[in-house]
Amino acid sequence: MKAYLVLDLAVHDFASFKVYIERIPAFIAKHGGRYIVQGAVPTPVEGDWMPERLVILEFPSRRNATDFLADPTIQDLFAIRHRATTSRLVLVDGCAE
């Protein structure tokens, strides 16, 4: 079953964040992932959720997604994202096909 990482973020240090966005795609691909939504500005329709930017990554399985998150070679990139943004990240399983 496919799994998705959904990232809601507000960038407050674009110069630092640029390093992250230039390097992270290779690691996403390394774990079988791909962008579904890449930094899009969403349009709120219901409720009070007001994300500034949204990223959705699709992985072949939950295991691929958790391996991506735990990959020791990219922890420095995650630290850059944490410093350069305010973000929320959730992992969800897709529907059975």
Query: Does residue 97 carry a pLDDT above 90?
Result: no
Query: Does residue 85 carry a pLDDT above 70?
Result: yes
For residues 68 and 33, the answer to whether their CB atoms sit within 8 Å is yes
pLDDT of residue 96: 77
The structural domains of the chain, with segments of one domain joined by +, span: 3-47+60-93
Alpha-carbon torsion angle 46, 87, 94, 21, nearest 10 = 120
pTM of the model: 0.93
The CATH class of 3-47+60-93 is alpha beta
Backbone angles phi, psi at 73, to 5 degrees: -80, -10
Query: Angle formed by the axes of helices 75-84 and 14-30, to 10°?
Result: 150
What is the residue type of 74?
I
CA distance 97 to 64: 18
pLDDT tens digit string along 18-67? 999 999 999 999 999 999 999 889 999 999 999 999 999 999 999 999 99
